Protein backbone atom coordinates (compact mmCIF):
# COMPACT_ATOMS: atom_id res chain seq x y z
CA UNK A 1 0.00 0.00 0.00
CA UNK A 2 2.72 2.44 1.06
CA UNK A 3 4.83 1.44 -1.94
CA UNK A 4 1.91 2.12 -4.27
CA UNK A 5 1.29 5.55 -2.76
CA UNK A 6 5.00 6.38 -3.08
CA UNK A 7 5.05 5.28 -6.72
CA UNK A 8 2.00 7.45 -7.43
CA UNK A 9 3.62 10.47 -5.80
CA UNK A 10 6.86 9.96 -7.77
CA UNK A 11 4.88 9.59 -10.98
CA UNK A 12 3.00 12.81 -10.24
CA UNK A 13 6.22 14.69 -9.52
CA UNK A 14 7.79 13.39 -12.71
CA UNK A 15 4.70 14.35 -14.72
CA UNK A 16 4.76 17.86 -13.25
CA UNK A 17 8.44 18.26 -14.29
CA UNK A 18 7.91 17.03 -17.88
CA UNK A 19 4.71 18.04 -19.67
CA UNK A 20 4.01 18.77 -23.33
CA UNK A 21 7.62 17.93 -24.28
CA UNK A 22 8.78 20.54 -21.77
CA UNK A 23 12.01 19.50 -20.08
CA UNK A 24 13.14 21.21 -16.91
CA UNK A 25 16.92 21.48 -16.97
CA UNK A 26 18.94 22.20 -13.82
CA UNK A 27 22.09 24.14 -14.64
CA UNK A 28 24.78 26.24 -12.95
CA UNK A 29 27.62 28.39 -14.33
CA UNK A 30 30.79 26.39 -15.03
CA UNK A 31 32.74 27.87 -17.94
CA UNK A 32 33.28 26.64 -20.60
CA UNK A 33 30.64 23.93 -20.11
CA UNK A 34 27.71 26.13 -19.11
CA UNK A 35 27.41 29.88 -18.64
CA UNK A 36 25.06 32.74 -19.40
CA UNK A 37 25.83 35.40 -22.00
CA UNK A 38 23.34 38.03 -23.19
CA UNK A 39 20.59 36.21 -21.35
CA UNK A 40 21.25 32.87 -23.07
CA UNK A 41 22.91 29.71 -21.81
CA UNK A 42 26.01 28.70 -23.74
CA UNK A 43 28.87 26.23 -23.45
CA UNK A 44 30.01 22.76 -24.47
CA UNK A 45 27.36 20.91 -22.46
CA UNK A 46 24.65 23.32 -23.55
CA UNK A 47 25.53 22.77 -27.21
CA UNK A 48 25.31 19.01 -26.75
CA UNK A 49 21.97 19.34 -24.99
CA UNK A 50 20.60 21.62 -27.72
CA UNK A 51 21.50 19.00 -30.32
CA UNK A 52 19.58 16.38 -28.33
CA UNK A 53 16.49 18.57 -27.89
CA UNK A 54 16.38 19.29 -31.62
CA UNK A 55 16.38 15.57 -32.41
CA UNK A 56 13.81 14.73 -29.73
CA UNK A 57 11.60 17.77 -30.19
CA UNK A 58 11.91 18.77 -26.55
CA UNK A 59 11.55 22.30 -25.18
CA UNK A 60 14.00 23.29 -22.45
CA UNK A 61 13.10 25.32 -19.37
CA UNK A 62 16.32 26.16 -17.52
CA UNK A 63 16.36 26.14 -13.74
CA UNK A 64 19.43 28.21 -12.82
CA UNK A 65 21.25 27.13 -9.66
CA UNK A 66 24.21 28.67 -7.85
CA UNK A 67 25.86 25.61 -6.33
CA UNK A 68 26.44 21.97 -7.25
CA UNK A 69 24.43 20.60 -4.28
CA UNK A 70 21.43 22.66 -5.46
CA UNK A 71 21.72 21.12 -8.94
CA UNK A 72 21.98 17.60 -7.57
CA UNK A 73 19.19 18.26 -5.10
CA UNK A 74 16.83 19.29 -7.89
CA UNK A 75 17.49 15.93 -9.56
CA UNK A 76 16.92 13.93 -6.38
CA UNK A 77 13.65 15.77 -5.67
CA UNK A 78 12.65 15.46 -9.36
CA UNK A 79 12.18 19.22 -9.56
CA UNK A 80 14.22 18.90 -12.76
CA UNK A 81 14.21 16.19 -15.42
CA UNK A 82 17.91 16.50 -16.15
CA UNK A 83 20.98 18.41 -15.00
CA UNK A 84 23.71 19.52 -17.41
CA UNK A 85 27.02 21.36 -17.12
CA UNK A 86 30.23 20.03 -15.56
CA UNK A 87 28.89 17.25 -13.37
CA UNK A 88 31.34 14.56 -12.35
CA UNK A 89 30.19 10.96 -12.08
CA UNK A 90 31.16 9.66 -8.65
CA UNK A 91 30.38 6.51 -6.70
CA UNK A 92 28.40 8.46 -4.09
CA UNK A 93 26.29 10.26 -6.69
CA UNK A 94 25.57 7.02 -8.58
CA UNK A 95 23.76 5.79 -5.48
CA UNK A 96 21.40 8.77 -5.56
CA UNK A 97 20.73 9.38 -9.26
CA UNK A 98 21.33 8.11 -12.77
CA UNK A 99 23.83 9.44 -15.30
CA UNK A 100 24.01 9.50 -19.05
CA UNK A 101 26.94 8.21 -21.07
CA UNK A 102 30.09 10.32 -20.44
CA UNK A 103 30.36 13.56 -22.40
CA UNK A 104 33.87 14.63 -21.36
CA UNK A 105 36.87 13.14 -19.54
CA UNK A 106 38.05 15.32 -16.69
CA UNK A 107 40.31 15.20 -13.65
CA UNK A 108 41.54 17.47 -10.87
CA UNK A 109 44.31 20.03 -11.34
CA UNK A 110 46.45 21.96 -8.88
CA UNK A 111 46.99 25.70 -9.39
CA UNK A 112 49.45 27.48 -7.15
CA UNK A 113 51.59 30.59 -7.05
CA UNK A 114 54.76 30.79 -9.13
CA UNK A 115 57.55 30.10 -6.69
CA UNK A 116 59.93 32.85 -7.73
CA UNK A 117 58.11 35.90 -9.03
CA UNK A 118 60.20 38.77 -7.72
CA UNK A 119 62.32 36.47 -5.57
CA UNK A 120 66.09 37.05 -5.81
CA UNK A 121 66.70 34.15 -3.45
CA UNK A 122 64.89 31.67 -5.71
CA UNK A 123 66.68 33.09 -8.76
CA UNK A 124 70.03 32.56 -7.00
CA UNK A 125 69.05 28.97 -6.21
CA UNK A 126 68.26 28.41 -9.87
CA UNK A 127 71.66 29.73 -10.95
CA UNK A 128 73.33 27.26 -8.59
CA UNK A 129 71.83 24.33 -10.44
CA UNK A 130 74.03 21.51 -11.79
CA UNK A 131 73.51 22.65 -15.38
CA UNK A 132 74.66 26.21 -14.71
CA UNK A 133 77.59 25.22 -12.48
CA UNK A 134 78.68 22.57 -14.98
CA UNK A 135 78.69 25.09 -17.82
CA UNK A 136 80.72 27.57 -15.79
CA UNK A 137 83.24 24.88 -14.76
CA UNK A 138 83.73 23.85 -18.38
CA UNK A 139 84.21 27.49 -19.38
CA UNK A 140 86.86 28.06 -16.69
CA UNK A 141 88.77 24.92 -17.73
CA UNK A 142 88.64 25.96 -21.38
CA UNK A 143 89.86 29.45 -20.47
CA UNK A 144 92.82 28.03 -18.51
CA UNK A 145 93.67 25.49 -21.22
CA UNK A 146 93.66 28.03 -24.05
CA UNK A 147 95.67 30.54 -21.99
CA UNK A 148 98.31 27.93 -21.14
CA UNK A 149 98.59 26.70 -24.76
CA UNK A 150 98.89 30.24 -26.10
CA UNK A 151 101.60 31.15 -23.56
CA UNK A 152 103.58 28.01 -24.39
CA UNK A 153 103.44 28.77 -28.11
CA UNK A 154 104.22 32.49 -27.89
CA UNK A 155 106.67 32.82 -24.98
CA UNK A 156 109.87 32.40 -27.08
CA UNK A 157 109.06 34.59 -30.09
CA UNK A 158 106.63 37.08 -28.54
CA UNK A 159 108.04 37.78 -25.09
CA UNK A 160 106.67 41.33 -25.09
CA UNK A 161 103.08 40.12 -25.07
CA UNK A 162 103.66 36.74 -23.40
CA UNK A 163 106.66 36.84 -20.97
CA UNK A 164 108.73 33.67 -20.48
CA UNK A 165 108.02 33.71 -16.75
CA UNK A 166 105.19 31.29 -16.07
CA UNK A 167 103.56 33.64 -13.56
CA UNK A 168 103.74 36.77 -15.73
CA UNK A 169 103.13 34.88 -18.96
CA UNK A 170 99.99 33.12 -17.74
CA UNK A 171 98.75 36.39 -16.28
CA UNK A 172 99.00 38.14 -19.67
CA UNK A 173 97.65 35.12 -21.51
CA UNK A 174 94.62 34.89 -19.20
CA UNK A 175 94.02 38.61 -19.71
CA UNK A 176 94.03 38.12 -23.48
CA UNK A 177 91.76 35.05 -23.39
CA UNK A 178 89.27 36.76 -21.07
CA UNK A 179 89.12 39.90 -23.24
CA UNK A 180 88.52 37.81 -26.34
CA UNK A 181 85.68 35.99 -24.56
CA UNK A 182 84.00 39.11 -23.19
CA UNK A 183 84.86 41.93 -25.62
CA UNK A 184 85.88 40.01 -28.73
CA UNK A 185 89.38 41.52 -28.84
CA UNK A 186 92.43 42.72 -26.92
CA UNK A 187 94.34 45.71 -28.34
CA UNK A 188 97.56 45.63 -26.27
CA UNK A 189 98.27 41.90 -26.56
CA UNK A 190 98.22 39.71 -29.66
CA UNK A 191 99.84 36.45 -30.81
CA UNK A 192 102.31 36.64 -33.71
CA UNK A 193 103.22 33.03 -34.44
CA UNK A 194 101.25 30.85 -36.85
CA UNK A 195 100.35 28.26 -34.20
CA UNK A 196 99.45 30.97 -31.70
CA UNK A 197 97.21 32.74 -34.20
CA UNK A 198 95.51 29.42 -35.04
CA UNK A 199 94.74 28.93 -31.32
CA UNK A 200 93.48 32.52 -31.20
CA UNK A 201 91.08 31.95 -34.11
CA UNK A 202 89.74 28.75 -32.54
CA UNK A 203 89.25 30.55 -29.21
CA UNK A 204 87.50 33.51 -30.86
CA UNK A 205 85.02 31.20 -32.57
CA UNK A 206 84.68 29.01 -29.50
CA UNK A 207 84.24 32.06 -27.31
CA UNK A 208 81.14 33.06 -29.27
CA UNK A 209 79.70 29.57 -28.82
CA UNK A 210 80.58 29.48 -25.10
CA UNK A 211 79.04 32.91 -24.50
CA UNK A 212 75.85 31.94 -26.33
CA UNK A 213 75.59 28.70 -24.37
CA UNK A 214 76.04 30.34 -20.97
CA UNK A 215 73.55 33.08 -21.87
CA UNK A 216 71.00 30.47 -22.98
CA UNK A 217 71.49 28.41 -19.81
CA UNK A 218 71.12 31.47 -17.58
CA UNK A 219 67.99 32.63 -19.40
CA UNK A 220 66.46 29.15 -19.41
CA UNK A 221 67.17 28.64 -15.72
CA UNK A 222 65.66 31.97 -14.71
CA UNK A 223 62.57 31.42 -16.89
CA UNK A 224 61.94 27.89 -15.65
CA UNK A 225 62.55 29.02 -12.10
CA UNK A 226 59.98 31.78 -12.50
CA UNK A 227 57.34 29.42 -13.86
CA UNK A 228 58.09 26.47 -11.62
CA UNK A 229 56.42 25.67 -8.35
CA UNK A 230 57.39 23.87 -5.18
CA UNK A 231 54.13 21.90 -5.57
CA UNK A 232 54.04 18.97 -8.02
CA UNK A 233 51.41 16.61 -6.59
CA UNK A 234 48.66 16.56 -4.00
CA UNK A 235 50.88 15.20 -1.21
CA UNK A 236 53.01 18.36 -1.49
CA UNK A 237 49.98 20.23 -0.10
CA UNK A 238 49.62 18.16 3.08
CA UNK A 239 48.87 20.46 6.00
CA UNK A 240 48.25 23.47 3.74
CA UNK A 241 44.97 25.34 3.13
CA UNK A 242 43.55 24.38 -0.27
CA UNK A 243 40.81 26.39 -2.00
CA UNK A 244 38.11 24.75 -4.09
CA UNK A 245 34.45 25.13 -5.04
CA UNK A 246 32.07 24.09 -2.26
CA UNK A 247 29.94 20.98 -2.77
CA UNK A 248 32.00 19.83 -5.76
CA UNK A 249 33.57 16.42 -6.33
CA UNK A 250 36.97 18.07 -5.85
CA UNK A 251 35.91 19.18 -2.35
CA UNK A 252 34.81 15.61 -1.57
CA UNK A 253 38.11 14.22 -2.86
CA UNK A 254 40.19 16.66 -0.80
CA UNK A 255 38.25 15.92 2.37
CA UNK A 256 38.75 12.17 1.89
CA UNK A 257 42.44 12.85 1.35
CA UNK A 258 42.55 14.65 4.70
CA UNK A 259 43.35 18.05 3.21
CA UNK A 260 42.50 21.36 4.86
CA UNK A 261 39.75 22.58 2.53
CA UNK A 262 38.57 26.18 2.18
CA UNK A 263 35.37 26.22 0.09
CA UNK A 264 34.21 29.08 -2.15
CA UNK A 265 31.03 29.68 -4.12
CA UNK A 266 32.67 29.51 -7.56
CA UNK A 267 35.97 29.17 -9.42
CA UNK A 268 36.46 32.95 -9.65
CA UNK A 269 36.40 33.34 -5.87
CA UNK A 270 38.63 30.29 -5.40
CA UNK A 271 41.25 31.56 -7.87
CA UNK A 272 41.19 35.05 -6.38
CA UNK A 273 41.86 33.53 -2.96
CA UNK A 274 45.34 32.53 -4.16
CA UNK A 275 46.42 36.11 -3.48
CA UNK A 276 45.85 35.44 0.22
CA UNK A 277 48.83 34.27 2.26
CA UNK A 278 46.86 31.52 3.98
CA UNK A 279 45.86 29.78 0.72
CA UNK A 280 48.54 27.54 -0.78
CA UNK A 281 46.73 26.28 -3.88
CA UNK A 282 43.46 25.80 -5.72
CA UNK A 283 42.38 22.27 -6.64
CA UNK A 284 39.48 21.94 -9.04
CA UNK A 285 38.39 20.36 -12.32
CA UNK A 286 41.23 20.55 -14.85
CA UNK A 287 39.31 21.84 -17.92
CA UNK A 288 37.67 24.58 -15.86
CA UNK A 289 40.86 25.87 -14.21
CA UNK A 290 42.71 25.72 -17.55
CA UNK A 291 39.93 27.73 -19.18
CA UNK A 292 40.11 30.25 -16.32
CA UNK A 293 43.89 30.60 -16.75
CA UNK A 294 43.52 31.11 -20.52
CA UNK A 295 40.83 33.78 -20.12
CA UNK A 296 42.45 35.65 -17.21
CA UNK A 297 45.94 36.10 -18.62
CA UNK A 298 46.89 39.11 -16.49
CA UNK A 299 45.83 37.51 -13.19
CA UNK A 300 47.29 34.11 -14.10
CA UNK A 301 50.78 35.54 -14.69
CA UNK A 302 51.55 34.84 -11.03
CA UNK A 303 49.96 31.36 -11.05
CA UNK A 304 51.14 28.06 -12.45
CA UNK A 305 49.49 24.71 -13.22
CA UNK A 306 51.35 22.26 -11.00
CA UNK A 307 51.78 18.66 -12.08
CA UNK A 308 49.44 16.65 -14.26
CA UNK A 309 45.67 16.16 -13.82
CA UNK A 310 44.85 13.41 -11.32
CA UNK A 311 41.78 11.63 -9.88
CA UNK A 312 40.38 11.11 -13.40
CA UNK A 313 36.59 11.44 -13.71
CA UNK A 314 33.96 11.78 -16.39
CA UNK A 315 31.34 14.47 -16.87
CA UNK A 316 27.82 13.36 -17.73
CA UNK A 317 24.22 14.54 -17.60
CA UNK A 318 22.43 13.67 -14.35
CA UNK A 319 18.86 12.33 -14.25
CA UNK A 320 16.49 11.17 -11.49
CA UNK A 321 16.88 7.54 -10.48
CA UNK A 322 15.01 5.30 -12.94
CA UNK A 323 14.26 8.14 -15.39
CA UNK A 324 12.72 7.03 -18.68
CA UNK A 325 14.67 9.83 -20.39
CA UNK A 326 18.03 8.19 -19.77
CA UNK A 327 17.72 5.71 -22.65
CA UNK A 328 16.66 8.45 -25.08
CA UNK A 329 19.47 10.78 -24.00
CA UNK A 330 22.05 8.02 -24.34
CA UNK A 331 20.80 7.09 -27.80
CA UNK A 332 21.06 10.73 -28.88
CA UNK A 333 24.60 11.04 -27.45
CA UNK A 334 25.70 7.93 -29.33
CA UNK A 335 24.27 9.40 -32.54
CA UNK A 336 26.20 12.64 -31.94
CA UNK A 337 29.37 10.66 -31.39
CA UNK A 338 29.09 8.35 -34.40
CA UNK A 339 28.10 11.23 -36.70
CA UNK A 340 31.14 13.26 -35.66
CA UNK A 341 28.96 16.09 -34.37
CA UNK A 342 30.24 15.66 -30.78
CA UNK A 343 33.81 16.03 -32.02
CA UNK A 344 32.89 19.22 -33.88
CA UNK A 345 31.42 20.73 -30.71
CA UNK A 346 34.49 19.61 -28.77
CA UNK A 347 36.80 21.38 -31.25
CA UNK A 348 34.71 24.53 -31.00
CA UNK A 349 35.29 24.81 -27.25
CA UNK A 350 38.54 22.96 -26.64
CA UNK A 351 40.29 22.71 -29.97
CA UNK A 352 39.65 18.97 -29.93
CA UNK A 353 41.67 18.38 -26.72
CA UNK A 354 40.00 16.16 -24.12
User: What are the chain's domains?
Assistant: 2-103+316-350 (3.40.190.10), 121-227 (1.10.287.70), 230-312 (3.40.190.10)
User: CA-CA distance, 83 to 277, in Å (whole number)?
Assistant: 36
User: Beta 82-84 vs 22-27: how paired, if at all?
Assistant: parallel
Closest to 199 measured CA to CA, from 269, 150, 264, 139:
150
User: CA-CA distance, 147 to 200, in Å (whole number)?
Assistant: 10
User: CA-CA distance, 249 to 90, in Å (whole number)?
Assistant: 8
Higher pLDDT, 229 or 167: 167
| pTM to 2 decimal places | 0.60
Residue ranges of the alpha helices (H) in 106-165?
A: 120-127, 130-154
**By percentage, how much of the chain surpasses pLDDT 90?**
45
User: CA-CA distance, 105 to 314, in Å (whole number)?
Assistant: 5
User: CA-CA distance, 259 to 250, in Å (whole number)?
Assistant: 11
Q: What is the per-residue pLDDT across 114-145, written as a single tens digit (0 to 9) for each?
A: 764 444 455 555 556 666 677 778 778 888 88
Q: What is the per-residue pLDDT across 96-108, written as a single tens digit (0 to 9) for each?
A: 999 999 999 989 9
Q: Which of 168-172, 212-216, 240-244, 310-314 has the lowest mean pLDDT?
A: 212-216
Mean pLDDT value of segment 21-43: 93
Mean pLDDT for the chain overall: 82
Mean pLDDT value of segment 154-183: 78
pLDDT at 7 over 70: no
Amino acid sequence: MAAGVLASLCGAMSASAQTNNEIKVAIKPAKPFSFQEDGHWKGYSVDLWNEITQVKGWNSVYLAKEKVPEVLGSIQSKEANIAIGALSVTEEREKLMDFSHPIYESGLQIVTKSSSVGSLLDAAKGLLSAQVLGGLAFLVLALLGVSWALWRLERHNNEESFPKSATKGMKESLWWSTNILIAGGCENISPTGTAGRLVAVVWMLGGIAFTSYITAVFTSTLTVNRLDSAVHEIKDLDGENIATVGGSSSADFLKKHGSKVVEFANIDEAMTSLSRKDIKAVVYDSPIVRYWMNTHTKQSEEYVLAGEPFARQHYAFALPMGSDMRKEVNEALLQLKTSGRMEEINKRWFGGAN
